[in-house]
Amino acid sequence: MPPPPAERPADPAPDLDVVTPAHNEADNLEPLLAEIHEALQPTGLSYHVIVVDDRSTDDTPRILAQLAATDPTLRPVQVTGTGHGDRGLGPSAALGVGFAAATAPIVASLDADLQNPPQNLPAMIQRLKDERLDLVQGDRSANRRDNLKRRVSSKVGRWFRSTVLGDDTPDSACALRVLSSRAAKAVPLQYKGMHRFMAPWLRKHGYAVANHPTDHRPRTAGVAKFGIWNRALPGLIDLFAVRWMFLRLRPLDAEPIAPAPTGD
């Protein structure tokens, strides 16, 4: 009998995994990958791009399959859990799926809508390394390119986070982040809305977090998934849910009990 076929060796872990949730972002995928490559290739880092299709109803899955056939860095995955109609599971779950698939010691995240320039990533990665941080959180507050209503709602959200959680993160909802692998896997992203609380969650659990100014651009393709009404009230409810978890947080520190000495 012929010998069984040899198993294909697993790909070595890259230096960096870039995780990008995508829900109905077909028109943005090719330019997004081009910008990621332009930003990261000069760094000399090996990297994979994990694009998580969150139950898209447009051509996103087909285009990802086509791009993966010619781009060896692309690792598309698809959310298969039960969602809410055509809305998918949301950015928290999609990030959680991507972070679970990541194998690199450093994980970056950004949205697929091209509003977060990948060109900011190299400086954020270097800062994570130099300062031995667990999270470098993007901060768009000085460069927002959203409409007036979204900018105002973001300022109100920051005031509530500061008041309720004591969180001074200027832009915790910015999708542009760089994390250590252990931090990326420590946030309970299976809970809807937790992507907005990554920075305060990790700080509360003893991880080193810093904010980093980033650029921001207006959306030019696709449709925004969140507006005032489907973000403000759910965000406020999530805020009090996170506060509830913080108030009940207990340390899990322990040390072994040495055996008592025995008599001669």
Pairwise CA distance, residues 34 & 167, whole Å = 35
Q: Using the predicted structure, report yes or no on whether residue 76 has a pLDDT greater than 60.
A: yes
**Using an 8 Å Cβ cutoff, are 210 and 180 in contact?**
no
Q: Which of 195, 218, 178 is nearest to 39 (CA)?
A: 178
Pairwise CA distance, residues 261 & 264, whole Å = 9
Which has the higher per-residue pLDDT, 166 or 93?
Answer: 93
Considering the chain, what is the average pLDDT of its residues? 86
pLDDT (0 to 100) of residue 240: 84
Q: Using the predicted structure, report yes or no on whether residue 81 has a pLDDT greater than 50.
A: yes
Amino acid (1-letter code) at residue 239: L
Which has the higher per-residue pLDDT, 83 or 118?
Answer: 118
Pairwise CA distance, residues 9 & 178, whole Å = 28
β-strand pairing of 177-180 with 106-109: antiparallel
- Per-residue pLDDT of 192-218, as tens digits, reads 999 999 999 999 999 999 999 999 877
Angle (CA) 99-134-36 rounded to 5° is 55
Torsion of CA 178, 74, 101, 24, to 10 degrees: 90
